[in-house]
Structure 1
C-alpha cells in the first residue's frame, strides 16, 4: 500500500481556520496519511525521524499558507535541515527520488491580486519555482499545485460571512486534495 506524508507548515495551526479546515476535511474524505505538524515539532526538527517518514512515503504533501510569497519560515527551516545533501540530493542523496510531491496552500489575498499588473505583480505560478526546483533537485515528481485564495479570516475583526466562506472554500480544497491523493495512489 502506498503511503502519504502530509507536512503541515503553518506555524500556528490551531489559529488557522483555513489550513485546519483543509486538514480536517482531508482526514475525513481522503486516504490514510501520516501528519507531521511542524508547529508541534518546532525549530529543532527531529531530522532522523523526519527523514525516515519521508523515505517511507510514496507521496509527500506540503500543506501551508503563503507567507511573503513563499512558505512559512518554519517550513523552510525544516526543509533546510531535513532535505540534506546525501539524503535528498547529491550523488548519494536519492531517498526522495521518484516520490510524488504535492503542494497544497492557501493565500490571504484574493485570486485577483495574483496577476500581472495586480497588487502582487505576478500570477501565482511565478511564485512556485522554488517548489518545482526542490522536486527537480531531489528527483521527485512535481504535481499540479492545489490552492485556495482569499483565506484571510481574523476572529473578532472579519465579518462572520467571511468565516463561512473560508470554511466552505477550504472544505472544497480539502475534498479536492483528497481526490488528488486517491488518484496519485493508483
Structure 2
C-alpha cells in the first residue's frame, strides 16, 4: 500500500510541476500594462502603468481618447475613430502596406512644414476572426526631434479605428516591447 501511495504522490507532484510550468509559459513576458475599455463604443486596449488620460484642447476630429506618461510626457497614445462607408472591411481598404503608405501620404500632405514621416513596416493578424493591421513609422518633427510610432488599424460597424503609440526615438528600444504589446492588445467588438 505504501508503494502505491508513493507512486500517487510522485504522480501528483509531477502533475503540479507540469501545470505550473505550462501556466508560466502562457505569460507574455510584458508587464506593467493595465486595461482600458469603452463598452459603449466597443473597443479595449492595454496601456502602460503610470499613464493618465488627458483632455486635448483643439484635438483633431475623431480623437476619442488620449493617454500620456506622467513622467515621460512626450510618450503618448491616441485613438482616432473615423466614419467609413457601411459595408467596408479592413481588407477592402487595401493590404497592410497599401494602407500604411496611404496613411503616410495623407500624414505628409497635412503635416506642418518640416515634419516628415517614413513608413517602416506593416503587418497583420487576427483576433476572434477580425483582421487588424500593425503599422510602424519614424517621424521627424520640425525641431529635428525624432519619434517612433506604432499603430493598430481596425474596422468595425462602419468605423475605422486608428490606435497609435508614440515615443521619442532615443527611448524606442526601452519601450518597444511594451508598446508592441499595447498595440496588439487593441481590439474592437
- For normalisation by structure 2, the TM-score amounts to 0.26
**Larger RCO (alpha carbons 8 Å, 6+ apart):** 1
Q: Which has the higher helix share?
A: 1
- For normalisation by structure 1, the TM-score amounts to 0.27
Q: Which has the larger radius of gyration?
A: 2
Q: Which has the higher strand share?
A: 2
